[in-house]
């Protein structure tokens, strides 16, 4: 059986050898790579994971700029750049994964039976060997929008990690097989969505946030150091049922079951009031959509209602990951939502 080449291991690559731009950098890596950087303090290690999704460039760009800067991180740093091959598939940064492959960020739990599963398993193994004090997994959202952090377990250490990048934190227990859900059991792990994959602001935040993460003497919480984050607790995904036709238009499209307004993305991280229409819909919302709360119960009627053919929020909601891309809406979800009057946590 042919040996499958997975990770390439590099240590302290020189600014002069990594290429002149991020594309040249990825060609230099030539596949999934693990870059170890010696820190000023060699007694601790942090991990930075990025490009789990090949169409999300900000993290790879930020790492390229860091390596170009020639600076040394405060502590040892393990940088994992995963979907290099998918990212290099032309046009650059257009493939979330290779055609026919599973979504790598849904593969961090058994069975590790296919190529993506084995890559995920190897990432977990590399992390286990280095036992980092923290893990940052950097992503872009597919649509435009502000940055936010995501974690599955929240405490002051996670707040401190997120605060290096953004003031918004989503706490979610969706159980999708994402890296953070698994590595969280061993090291504080935060997913950072730095913003839209095409946004210059996202690239800038990625570079600045990564530099803060790598240069700080301490990245975990210290006594008396509180971070006031805006929290989004246990968001619910609004998904489309199979066979339901969706489109985006500024009028009810005759051949669609659900029509969303083209500018629905503007509600990202804002509050949408119950009287603000999201678009149009035909029939019972529970026939069109599905949504589950954290207890596994149907939550469609908590999110949306149909009145006179128009689709409204069922109550004031905070929405995020709102997409106006029908492919993403069909294959993933239309948006995530929490109640706008969500009670603050009891701590």
Region binding Zn ion by CB under 5 A among candidate stretches 42-50, 51-59, 142-150, 312-320: 51-59
Region binding Zn ion by CB under 5 A among candidate stretches 50-58, 69-77, 183-191, 257-265: 50-58
Closer Cβ to Zn ion, 56 or 199, answer by number: 56
Minimum distance from residue 286 beta carbon to Zn ion (Å):
30
What is the pairing mode between strands 317-320 and 335-339? Answer: antiparallel
Closer Cβ to Zn ion, 44 or 106, answer by number: 106
Region binding Zn ion by CB under 5 A among candidate stretches 5-13, 20-28, 46-54, 238-246: 46-54
> For the stretch 167-202, what's the b/e string if a residue is b when 16 or more beta carbons lie within 10 angstroms of its beta carbon?
ebbbbbebeebbbbbbbbeebbbbbbbbbbbebeeb
* C-alpha span between 229 and 177 (Å, rounded): 25
Among positions 54-93, residues that touch Zn ion (CB under 5 A) are 56
Minimum distance from residue 115 beta carbon to Zn ion (Å):
18
**Spatial contact of 158 and 226, defined as CB atoms under 8 Å apart:** no
Closer Cβ to Zn ion, 138 or 290, answer by number: 138
Instruction: Select from 186, 188, 139, 185 the least CA-distant residue to 165.
Output: 139
58-69 and 22-29 helices, crossing angle to 10°: 90
Among positions 122-161, residues that touch Zn ion (CB under 5 A) are 139
Closer Cβ to Zn ion, 103 or 133, answer by number: 103
* 112 contacts: CB under 8 Å, gap ≥ 6: 118, 120, 121
Structure tokens at 337: 């939502």
Minimum distance from residue 82 beta carbon to Zn ion (Å):
10
Region binding Zn ion by CB under 5 A among candidate stretches 45-53, 154-162, 213-221, 325-333: 45-53
Closer Cβ to Zn ion, 150 or 236, answer by number: 150
Between the alpha carbon of residue 203 and those of residues 96, 141, 275, the distances in Å are 17, 12, 36
CA 111 to chain centre: 22
Among 46, 53, 154, 318, which residue interacts with Zn ion (rule: CB under 5 A)? 53
Closer Cβ to Zn ion, 209 or 279, answer by number: 209
Q: What is the largest CA-CA distance in the chain?
A: 65
Minimum distance from residue 139 beta carbon to Zn ion (Å):
3
Closer Cβ to Zn ion, 188 or 195, answer by number: 195
Minimum distance from residue 263 beta carbon to Zn ion (Å):
24
Which residue ranges make up the site for Zn ion (CB under 5 A)? 53, 56, 139
């Amino acid at each position: 059986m042919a040996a499958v080449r997975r990770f390439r291991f590099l240590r302290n690559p020189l600014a002069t050898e990594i290429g002149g731009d991020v594309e040249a950098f990825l060609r230099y890596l030539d596949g999934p790579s693990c870059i170890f950087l010696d820190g000023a303090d060699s007694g601790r290690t942090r991990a930075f994971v990025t490009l789990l999704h090949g169409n999300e460039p900000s993290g790879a760009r930020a790492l390229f700029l860091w390596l170009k800067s020639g600076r040394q991180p405060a502590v040892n740093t393990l940088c994992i750049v995963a979907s290099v091959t998918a990212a290099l598939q032309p046009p650059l940064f257009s493939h979330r994964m290779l055609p026919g492959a599973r979504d790598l960020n849904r593969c961090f739990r058994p069975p590790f039976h296919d190529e993506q599963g084995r890559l995920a398993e190897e990432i977990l193994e590399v992390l286990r060997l280095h036992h980092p004090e923290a893990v940052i997994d950097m992503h872009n959202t597919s649509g435009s929008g502000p940055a936010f952090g995501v974690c599955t377990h929240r405490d002051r250490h996670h707040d401190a990690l997120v605060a290096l990048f953004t003031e918004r934190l989503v706490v979610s227990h969706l159980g999708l097989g994402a890296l953070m859900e698994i590595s969280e059991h061993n090291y504080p792990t935060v997913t950072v969505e730095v913003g839209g994959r095409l946004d210059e602001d996202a690239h800038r935040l990625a570079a600045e946030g990564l530099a803060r993460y790598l240069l700080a003497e301490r990245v975990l919480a210290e006594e008396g150091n509180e971070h006031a984050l805006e929290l989004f607790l246990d968001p619910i995904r609004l998904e489309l049922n199979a066979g339901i036709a969706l489109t985006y238009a500024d009028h009810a499209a005759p051949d669609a079951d659900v029509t969303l307004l083209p500018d629905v993305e503007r509600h990202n991280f804002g509050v949408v009031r119950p009287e603000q229409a999201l678009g149009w819909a035909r029939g019972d919302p529970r026939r069109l959509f599905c949504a589950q709360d954290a207890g596994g119960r149907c939550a469609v009627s908590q999110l949306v209602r149909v009145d006179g053919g128009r689709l409204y929020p069922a109550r004031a909601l905070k929405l995020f990951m709102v997409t106006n891309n029908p492919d993403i809406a069909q294959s993933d979800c239309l948006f995530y939502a929490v109640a706008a009057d969500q009670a603050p946590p009891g701590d």
